[in-house]
Amino acid sequence: MDWGLKNRLARIISPADNRALMLAVDHGYFLGPTEKLEDLKKTIAPLAKHCDSLMITRGALRTSVNPDYPVPVVLRVSGGTSIIGEDLSQEDITVSIKDALRLNVSAVAMSVFVGSKYEYQTIVNLGKLVNEAEEYGIPVLAVTAVGKEIGTKDARYLSLACRVAAEQGAHVVKTYYCENFEKVVKSCPVPIIIAGGKKIPEKDALKLTYDALKAGAVGVDMGRNIWQSDNPVAMIKAVHSIVHGSNNAEQAFTLYKQLSGKSNQKQNNKPNQKQNNKPNQKQNNKPNQKQNNKPNQKQNNKPNQKQNNKPNQKQNNKSKNNSNKKSKKRN
């Protein structure tokens, strides 16, 4: 392996820990403006500094990534079909190596559809791409896309697809995570990066990342599970804490919630409830005591005084008059 090829690979897979965090934003080549990827610049700008490399198409790179920002690029060079077409597996090479060199990419990527109707075409194209790319010291990443005829992502199929890609000369293979993923890693002689796949809950995506790395993958190429997240920056930082840090899935999810402000929100609600309840109790009790006590005192005391005093005076006056009458009669 030449120095240039090694140097480019080191931009994608960090030599410090042999790990890679790739941000996938190439979905538009067959999905078009999918949700949360309508505005490429807006999506990419806050996330690029938190990843090791971008997986992107040449059109998106030229129009939506600042050339002053030194983010390594893994350039998708295959395509030819769209989501509304008859068969997504009918791909061909659409970008020349010369154009990839002009864009100063760190690697080129293409899909192979093992088991599909166009298996032969895509595998042969991979071999041709490796031949041309190695002349210029450019690594090739093979994406083991699943054909419609296969439909499953089990260890037996993925082991086959990854091994075929590696045998054709791919320097890195991107594939899906599955049960018994250790078997896939063990049977593939080149580094494996897992695909994030369709959007799933953040906690599940972080568990996927942790489990894949534990099983032997060197990193992740994650797209929708980052930029379709409620908080993309918090999510990519959480993924980073697993890939390049020591966090497990639970710790990474806790970090995601903290960065999203969700844990603070939970903590802030409880004290507010406590503060709202105590004053209400205080307000409700004091007025009740005032109403119950003071009026009662007024009712009990003043009327009693009136009843006790005035009637007594009346009785005293009557007795005085009676005594006067008696004295007059005697006289």
Nearest to 176 by CA among 138, 220, 131: 220
User: Which residues, listed in sequence order, are joined to residue 24 by a DSSP beta bridge?
Assistant: 55
Q: By CB neighbour count within 10 A (0-12 exposed, 13-18 middle, 19+ buried), where does 36 fall?
A: middle
Nearest to 175 by CA among 225, 239, 117, 220: 220
User: Alpha-carbon distance 65 to 275, whole Å?
Assistant: 49
Contact 150, 157 (CB under 8 A): yes
User: Alpha-carbon distance 135 to 132, whole Å?
Assistant: 5
Nearest to 179 by CA among 149, 153, 207: 153
Question: Catalytic: 298?
Answer: no
Which one of the listed residues 42, 49, 148, 174 is annotated catalytic? 174
Contacts of 179 (CB under 8 A, 6+ apart): 154, 155
Sign of CA dihedral 241, 243, 247, 249: positive
Contact 72, 10 (CB under 8 A): no
Half-sphere exposure of 231 (CA within 13 A, CB side): 15
First vs last C-alpha separation in the chain: 152
Half-sphere exposure of 127 (CA within 13 A, CB side): 8
Give the 3-state secondary structure of residue 1. Answer: coil
List residues with catalytic annotation.
174
